[in-house]
A and B are shown apart, each in its own frame.
Chain A
Amino acid sequence: MSRVDRGCRVRILAAIGAAALVLAGCGSGGGGSLADGDLPDQVKVVSVTDQTGTTAYVGSSQLKGIDLAIDEINSQDYLGDTEFVLEKRDSASDTQTAVSQATEALTDRNVSALLGPVLSAHAVAIAPLVERAKLPTVFTQSGSEGVVIGDYTYRATAPMETYFVKALERLRDQGARTVSVLYNAGNVTLAGLGEHTIPEGQDEYGYKVLSNTAVQASTQDFSTTATRIAGENPDAVIVLLVGAGNSTAMSQLRQAGYTGPVVGNPAAGAGNLAPAGAAGAGMYWATDFSFHQTAPSSEAFVESYRAKYNGENPLNYAAEGYDATWMLAHAVKNSGGSSREDIQRGLAQVVSEGFDGALGPVTFEGNDMRVEGVLVEWTGSEEVLVEESDVAE
């Protein structure tokens, strides 16, 4: 054998040896469970949400919360040398795009977890896929059934009916005996409130529903219903609409002659009542988060958020996104690993223990979040706190 041949053989053996080492190293990536303390340098998380399209303001607020959380997790070295890396996909308010992006995430073995979309329609399509592929997914908003369906699906937003009762309690405390209801039947959460929660609460909270008007998501004008409601002269009115509908309905209610209190929903926040001017004053609603709330973990969140985003105040969507991301960080820390199974185990521990997050002290029922909630009121120019419960739910 010539010297050249032996040289070749040595090089080939070295190459094979190196390849073997590399393969062994790869094997410890996204595959099976890791031993404690065996975290990789990066944990890849994908976010699929609406940065454009009709729900852009929800998705972009959620992303601000997520970004803030990732910044904090990495800068605080919460996971030691390991960093969270976020890949953002824009589902553009389209279900199929959301499903396609979620599918890409779950087929990529380097992705450890998914931060899910905000729309129920997207979430119910994605949930069975991530459950089957065993990709831990934390959804926010997405209030309908069919979202939290197994061990790998979680929701970091309490369903509205769990804290809506605070508004009903206030109704009772105000002595409202008769209420008229106007709600958007095209939104599953609001429809659930209008069709079930409110009628079912009549006995418990001492009111009687005089009329229950369902409008479509595309309805922009409420003058007919406003006239009818004003004519009924109820003690209180419940208006469950999204976006611009809130200010239009308030203006038209006042113009129709109704001057009493109005109960709303969190979609009336984010300045949506401003166009109504003085007519919007007096609407109050129960929400899962207000930047005024006084829980220490919430105040810390609000302060960090203002620091990062030029003094802007966070919406509840940002708080939810923030907590969802921190849930993943806690999960990694709990389980000591970043594989999909590790994160699922870690999340199971998180939901059994609860934690203090941007949303305040949170607990879970199954994999579904519960919060105390808070009542806020619109004064005509700003949102103020009505009360906070000091007893955890």
Chain B
Amino acid sequence: MSDFYFSNIVLIQSTFTVLLLALSIQIQFRMGVFSFAGAAFYGMGSYGVAILVLHYDFGAFSALATIVVICAVIGYLLSLVVQRLNGLYLAMATVAFVMIVTVVAHNGGALTGGSVGLFGVLTPVEISVPHLLAVCAVVVAAMIASERGAMGRRIEAVREDPELASAMGINVARYRKMSFVLSGVLGALGGGLNILMMTAIAPENIGFPLIVLALTIIIVGGSRSWIGVLIGALIFTWLPVVLEQVGTYQSIVYGVIVAIAAIFMPGGITGIVTDLYRRRSARSNADALESEQRLEARAAEEDAAEAAELQAELASSTTPSGGSR
């Protein structure tokens, strides 16, 4: 078992950093904000931590904390800049933002390492899976809390019907800004942890491919809950390993899988599971309802029969034969 762990450690690490990346985008989708800024924050997280460690001798934790705060602030500022945009236009604007980060990474000279990127990001404290799991546990706990109870309902209201939500007193604009800040935090965490474990980052590792990866994870896994994102992250981190057996057709197979998922599984895997669950419980509910209705119908029949008998009795006891008893 531990052989498997060490020999696949890169994939295990990647599953969780990709989970953070996908969550950073999904959290905004859940609030109805169609933004891909999380991918930009992931890139900034990776490069930012690399720059702080390589050029300014930061340690792992201080670099990570610093970059997370910086990205949170940038997220807030970004939310102000795009506040009037919605839907596909907001999406396009955030895609442009991600691409600009990539261009800056390419052209940053010695600071960002140009087209080779930065490498040799080694810190005295070696960050590995235990740290990653701890961070992910905290994040997932927060996600769970945000999906339940009043908070969960409020988020859903903001997504499904913003006018109604604000009529009910929810500050929709604040939720929007929060979503950008959260996206910044999660993206930066994912990117920062990624570089601390991989020790190298290049412009082609960030940017548009991250957007595509996160989207396919969210679509296939399911966009409503963190569970869907985790399933998606597991699938798309380990699928290439499985596909390697397919040999040179692997990229074709990958594209077909993504296409099929997008067409036939709009709610993702969690959507299918939830649908099945609902259908089963709906059926058992319907069965229960049916038997209840039948009982009621029978009871109603009996009542009606009784009533008829009573009436008949009454009618016979009051036949007009005069005379008193």
Contacts and interface: CB of A to CB of B under 8 A. Distances in A.
* Any A–B CB pair closer than 8 Å: yes
Interface of A: 51-53, 89-90, 92, 94-97, 99-100, 103-104, 107-108, 120-121, 124-125, 127-129, 144-146, 185-188, 191, 216-217
Nearest to B18: A96
Contacts of A90: 244, 247-248, 250
A121 B116 contact: yes
Contact of A186 (B11, B115, B200): B115
B3 interface: yes
Interface in B51-67: none
B200 A188 contact: no
Q: How large is the interface on B (under 10, 10 to 19, 20 to 34, 35 or more residues)?
A: 20 to 34
A94 B8 CA distance: 16
Interface string B1-38: 00100111111001000000000000000000000000
A259 to B, nearest CB: 32
A96 B115 contact: no
Given A96-B14, A124-B116, A216 B106 contact: yes
A99 B204 contact: no
B152 interface: no
Contacts of B200: 95, 121, 124-125
A124 B200 CA distance: 7
A52 B117 contact: no
Given A92-B250, A125-B119, 12 more contacts: A52-B251, A92-B240, A96-B10, A96-B198, A100-B14, A124-B117, A125-B199, A128-B120, A186-B106, A188-B115, A188-B116, A191-B115
Contact of B205 (A95, A100, A108, A186): A95
B122 interface: yes
9 shortest A-B CB distances, which residue pairs? A125-B200, A100-B10, A124-B119, A107-B7, A121-B202, A104-B7, A188-B116, A107-B6, A186-B115
Contacts of B198: 95-96, 99, 125
B266 interface: no
A191 B114 contact: yes
A216 to B, nearest CB: 7
A95 B202 CA distance: 9
A96 B248 CA distance: 18
- B interface majority secondary structure: helix
25 contacts: A90-B248, A90-B250, A92-B240, A92-B251, A95-B198, A95-B200, A95-B202, A100-B241, A103-B6, A103-B8, A104-B8, A107-B6, A121-B117, A121-B204, A121-B205, A124-B119, A124-B120, A125-B198, A125-B199, A128-B119, A146-B116, A185-B106, A186-B106, A186-B115, A191-B115
Contacts of B3: 107
A52 B248 contact: yes
A217 B115 contact: yes
Nearest to B107: A185
A107 B6 CA distance: 7
Contact of B7 (A51, A108, A144): A108
Which of A94, A97, A100, A145 has the most CB atoms of chain B within a 10 A radius of its CB?
A: A100
B11 A100 contact: yes
Given A52-B248, A146-B120, A185 B204 contact: no
Interface string B95-118: 000000000001000000011110
Nearest to A91: B244
A186 B114 CA distance: 8
A185 B115 contact: yes
Contacts of B114: 185, 188, 191
Contacts of A89: 244
Interface string B102-144: 0000100000001111011010000000000000000000000
Nearest to B252: A52
Contacts of B7: 103-104, 107-108
A224 B10 CA distance: 44
Given A51-B248, A125-B200, A186-B106, A99 B10 contact: yes
Contacts of A104: 7-8
Contacts of A124: 116-117, 119-120, 200
Contacts of A51: 248
Nearest to A144: B116
Nearest to B17: A96
Nearest to B6: A107
Nearest to B11: A100
Given A51-B248, A104-B7, A97 B116 contact: no
Nearest to B251: A52
A191 B241 CA distance: 34
Contacts of B247: 90
A348 B138 CA distance: 49
Nearest to A146: B119
A99 B8 CA distance: 10
Interface string B188-223: 000000000011101011000000000000000000
B211 to A, nearest CB: 16
Contacts of B122: 128
Contacts of B204: 95, 121
A188 B106 CA distance: 11
B216 to A, nearest CB: 15
A146 B198 CA distance: 14
B236 to A, nearest CB: 12
A92 B249 CA distance: 11
A199 B8 CA distance: 45
Contacts of B9: 103, 107
Contacts of A99: 10, 198
Contacts of A186: 106, 115
B194 to A, nearest CB: 9
Which of A96, A120, A129 has the most CB atoms of chain B within a 10 A radius of its CB?
A: A96
B199 A97 contact: no
A217 B107 CA distance: 12
Given A107-B6, A186-B106, A120 B199 contact: no
B106 to A, nearest CB: 7
